[in-house]
Amino acid sequence: MSLLRKSGRQLRLNLFFLFILMGGGAMFLVNDLLIQLLGIIVTIASLVFSWFGINCPKCNYKWLLHFMRTSSSTAWLNDLYRMNKCPKCNYNAKTK
Ligand SMILES: [Zn+2]
């Protein structure tokens, strides 16, 4: 089981994708300025939420930002899913 799932961050990542899809859909698929603006706000809010929300429960290190910075654009999501310990403090959900 990945650390993401064990630490409860998997749900946040799934919500992030859901809201990105909804925001993106509203921005590009709906021909209504108000809904497009709403889509932009939803997209930005979910980005900010996930930057801060997908973090280490122990040291508060921002995992999503870490992998977006250190991995390639095609590999960061895979690396994030396969992470089994925090890159900063080695937290692995077994030790407190
Ligand atoms: Zn940590």
- Distance from the CA of 88 to the center of ligand 1, in angstroms? 5
The stretches of 54-85 forming alpha helices (DSSP H) are 63-70, 76-82
Contact in structure between 91 and 58 (CB atoms under 8 Å) = yes
Contact in structure between 7 and 57 (CB atoms under 8 Å) = yes
- Distance from the CA of 96 to the center of ligand 1, in angstroms? 11
Residues of the chain with pLDDT under 50: none
Rounded CA separation 67/3 (Å): 14
- Distance from the CA of 58 to the center of ligand 1, in angstroms? 5
Q: Where are the domains of the chain?
A: 3-82
